[in-house]
Structure 1
Amino acid sequence: LVPILTETLAKQGDSDDDDDWNPAKAAGVCIMLLAQCTGDSIVDHICPFIDKNLQNPNWRYREASIMAFGSILDGPNVVMLTRLVESGLFQIIASLSDPQMMA
Protein backbone atom coordinates (compact mmCIF):
# COMPACT_ATOMS: atom_id res chain seq x y z
CA LEU A 1 0.00 0.00 0.00
CA VAL A 2 2.75 2.48 0.94
CA PRO A 3 4.56 2.32 -2.45
CA ILE A 4 1.29 3.09 -4.25
CA LEU A 5 0.58 6.01 -1.92
CA THR A 6 4.07 7.49 -2.18
CA GLU A 7 3.99 7.32 -5.98
CA THR A 8 0.57 8.98 -5.92
CA LEU A 9 2.05 11.84 -3.87
CA ALA A 10 4.19 12.68 -6.91
CA LYS A 11 1.23 12.91 -9.29
CA GLN A 12 0.35 16.53 -8.65
CA GLY A 13 -0.32 18.68 -11.69
CA ASP A 14 1.35 21.93 -12.64
CA SER A 15 -1.88 23.84 -12.21
CA ASP A 16 -3.33 22.07 -9.17
CA ASP A 17 -5.04 24.64 -6.99
CA ASP A 18 -4.19 24.49 -3.29
CA ASP A 19 -7.90 24.32 -2.48
CA ASP A 20 -8.71 21.47 -4.90
CA TRP A 21 -8.84 17.87 -3.71
CA ASN A 22 -6.59 15.68 -5.84
CA PRO A 23 -5.01 12.21 -5.69
CA ALA A 24 -1.75 13.56 -4.21
CA LYS A 25 -3.58 15.20 -1.30
CA ALA A 26 -5.67 12.07 -0.76
CA ALA A 27 -2.49 9.97 -0.63
CA GLY A 28 -1.00 12.35 1.94
CA VAL A 29 -4.06 12.04 4.16
CA CYS A 30 -4.00 8.26 3.82
CA ILE A 31 -0.32 8.16 4.84
CA MET A 32 -1.09 10.43 7.79
CA LEU A 33 -3.87 8.11 8.96
CA LEU A 34 -1.62 5.07 8.49
CA ALA A 35 1.02 6.78 10.65
CA GLN A 36 -1.53 7.47 13.37
CA CYS A 37 -2.68 3.83 13.32
CA THR A 38 0.68 2.08 12.95
CA GLY A 39 3.02 4.38 14.87
CA ASP A 40 6.72 3.57 14.54
CA SER A 41 6.29 0.88 11.91
CA ILE A 42 5.35 3.42 9.21
CA VAL A 43 8.80 5.03 9.40
CA ASP A 44 10.63 2.05 7.89
CA HIS A 45 8.23 2.07 4.95
CA ILE A 46 8.24 5.82 4.24
CA CYS A 47 11.87 6.76 4.93
CA PRO A 48 13.32 5.06 1.84
CA PHE A 49 11.00 7.15 -0.34
CA ILE A 50 11.93 10.33 1.51
CA ASP A 51 15.68 9.63 1.37
CA LYS A 52 15.56 8.71 -2.31
CA ASN A 53 13.55 11.73 -3.42
CA LEU A 54 14.54 14.73 -1.29
CA GLN A 55 17.08 15.64 -3.98
CA ASN A 56 15.37 14.07 -7.00
CA PRO A 57 15.78 16.16 -10.19
CA ASN A 58 12.00 16.04 -10.65
CA TRP A 59 10.36 18.68 -8.44
CA ARG A 60 7.23 16.55 -8.06
CA TYR A 61 9.22 13.86 -6.26
CA ARG A 62 11.02 16.41 -4.09
CA GLU A 63 7.67 17.86 -3.06
CA ALA A 64 6.21 14.37 -2.57
CA SER A 65 9.06 13.42 -0.24
CA ILE A 66 8.43 16.50 1.89
CA MET A 67 4.71 15.77 1.95
CA ALA A 68 5.46 12.18 3.02
CA PHE A 69 7.76 13.49 5.76
CA GLY A 70 5.06 15.79 7.10
CA SER A 71 2.38 13.15 6.83
CA ILE A 72 4.07 10.77 9.27
CA LEU A 73 4.88 13.25 12.03
CA ASP A 74 1.76 12.32 14.01
CA GLY A 75 2.10 8.68 14.97
CA PRO A 76 5.66 7.52 15.68
CA ASN A 77 7.11 8.01 19.16
CA VAL A 78 9.37 10.93 20.02
CA VAL A 79 12.62 8.94 19.75
CA MET A 80 11.74 7.71 16.26
CA LEU A 81 10.68 11.21 15.20
CA THR A 82 13.88 12.73 16.55
CA ARG A 83 15.97 10.45 14.33
CA LEU A 84 13.71 11.19 11.36
CA VAL A 85 13.89 14.96 11.85
CA GLU A 86 17.66 14.92 12.40
CA SER A 87 18.20 12.99 9.18
CA GLY A 88 15.97 15.08 6.91
CA LEU A 89 15.40 18.52 8.35
CA PHE A 90 18.40 20.27 6.79
CA GLN A 91 17.50 19.02 3.32
CA ILE A 92 13.92 20.11 3.78
CA ILE A 93 14.99 23.59 4.90
CA ALA A 94 17.28 23.83 1.88
CA SER A 95 14.34 22.99 -0.38
CA LEU A 96 12.52 26.12 0.79
CA SER A 97 14.56 28.11 -1.70
CA ASP A 98 13.62 25.80 -4.60
CA PRO A 99 11.72 28.04 -7.07
CA GLN A 100 9.88 25.08 -8.63
CA MET A 101 8.38 24.06 -5.31
CA MET A 102 7.38 27.59 -4.37
CA ALA A 103 5.10 28.04 -7.38
Structure 2
Amino acid sequence: MLYTSPVTSWELQRNWEIVRYLVYYLVEDLVSPDQISGKDVVDFSSGLGDLSEYIYSHNPKSLIATSPDDVPSPARLTGKPGFRFIPNLHARKISEALPPN
Protein backbone atom coordinates (compact mmCIF):
# COMPACT_ATOMS: atom_id res chain seq x y z
CA MET A 1 0.00 0.00 0.00
CA LEU A 2 1.45 3.38 -0.96
CA TYR A 3 -0.06 6.46 0.58
CA THR A 4 1.02 9.97 -0.37
CA SER A 5 -0.03 12.55 2.18
CA PRO A 6 -0.76 16.22 1.74
CA VAL A 7 2.26 18.30 2.72
CA THR A 8 2.50 19.00 6.45
CA SER A 9 3.90 22.15 8.03
CA TRP A 10 7.21 20.56 8.99
CA GLU A 11 7.69 19.37 5.42
CA LEU A 12 7.02 22.89 4.12
CA GLN A 13 9.55 24.37 6.56
CA ARG A 14 12.22 22.12 5.08
CA ASN A 15 11.33 22.73 1.43
CA TRP A 16 10.79 19.03 0.88
CA GLU A 17 9.17 18.25 -2.44
CA ILE A 18 7.29 15.17 -1.33
CA VAL A 19 7.00 12.84 1.63
CA ARG A 20 5.58 9.38 1.20
CA TYR A 21 4.44 7.36 4.18
CA LEU A 22 4.94 3.70 3.38
CA VAL A 23 3.65 0.45 4.70
CA TYR A 24 5.62 -2.11 2.78
CA TYR A 25 6.08 -5.82 2.36
CA LEU A 26 8.01 -5.95 -0.90
CA VAL A 27 10.10 -2.81 -0.73
CA GLU A 28 11.15 -2.91 -4.36
CA ASP A 29 7.52 -2.78 -5.49
CA LEU A 30 6.79 0.41 -3.56
CA VAL A 31 9.95 2.50 -3.55
CA SER A 32 11.53 2.66 -6.97
CA PRO A 33 15.18 3.71 -7.39
CA ASP A 34 14.16 6.93 -9.19
CA GLN A 35 12.34 8.04 -6.01
CA ILE A 36 15.62 7.67 -4.08
CA SER A 37 18.64 8.47 -6.24
CA GLY A 38 20.12 11.89 -5.47
CA LYS A 39 17.40 12.79 -2.94
CA ASP A 40 17.45 13.49 0.80
CA VAL A 41 15.54 10.64 2.45
CA VAL A 42 14.21 10.15 5.98
CA ASP A 43 13.34 6.60 7.03
CA PHE A 44 11.43 7.23 10.25
CA SER A 45 10.73 4.45 12.72
CA SER A 46 13.24 2.40 10.76
CA GLY A 47 12.89 -0.72 12.91
CA LEU A 48 15.12 -3.46 11.56
CA GLY A 49 16.91 -1.17 9.13
CA ASP A 50 16.08 -3.24 6.06
CA LEU A 51 14.31 -0.38 4.30
CA SER A 52 17.25 1.91 5.14
CA GLU A 53 19.68 -0.58 3.60
CA TYR A 54 17.57 -0.80 0.45
CA ILE A 55 17.32 3.00 0.22
CA TYR A 56 21.07 3.46 0.75
CA SER A 57 21.83 0.96 -2.02
CA HIS A 58 20.17 3.35 -4.51
CA ASN A 59 22.45 6.33 -3.82
CA PRO A 60 20.38 8.92 -1.99
CA LYS A 61 21.94 12.35 -1.51
CA SER A 62 21.54 11.69 2.23
CA LEU A 63 19.70 9.23 4.45
CA ILE A 64 18.53 9.86 8.00
CA ALA A 65 17.07 6.82 9.76
CA THR A 66 15.27 7.12 13.08
CA SER A 67 13.95 4.69 15.66
CA PRO A 68 11.52 5.31 18.51
CA ASP A 69 13.57 2.88 20.60
CA ASP A 70 17.08 2.94 22.05
CA VAL A 71 18.60 0.61 19.49
CA PRO A 72 21.94 0.64 17.68
CA SER A 73 22.39 1.97 14.18
CA PRO A 74 21.98 -0.64 11.42
CA ALA A 75 25.42 -2.29 11.39
CA ARG A 76 25.78 -2.35 7.60
CA LEU A 77 25.19 1.41 7.36
CA THR A 78 27.11 2.70 10.39
CA GLY A 79 29.87 5.05 9.26
CA LYS A 80 28.70 5.21 5.64
CA PRO A 81 28.94 8.64 3.96
CA GLY A 82 25.65 10.54 3.98
CA PHE A 83 24.03 8.23 6.56
CA ARG A 84 22.85 9.41 9.97
CA PHE A 85 20.97 7.41 12.60
CA ILE A 86 18.89 8.98 15.39
CA PRO A 87 17.65 6.58 18.11
CA ASN A 88 14.94 7.43 20.66
CA LEU A 89 13.06 9.63 18.22
CA HIS A 90 9.34 9.10 17.78
CA ALA A 91 7.91 10.08 14.40
CA ARG A 92 5.71 12.73 16.02
CA LYS A 93 8.89 14.48 17.29
CA ILE A 94 10.79 14.43 14.01
CA SER A 95 10.14 18.11 13.27
CA GLU A 96 11.98 19.04 16.47
CA ALA A 97 15.01 16.92 15.60
CA LEU A 98 15.46 18.03 11.99
CA PRO A 99 16.03 21.77 11.60
CA PRO A 100 14.51 23.62 8.64
CA ASN A 101 16.67 23.94 5.51
User: Smaller-chain TM-score range?
Assistant: 0.3 to 0.5
User: TM-score w.r.t. structure 2 length?
Assistant: 0.34
More helix by share: 1
More contact order relative to length (CA 8 Å, sep ≥ 6): 1
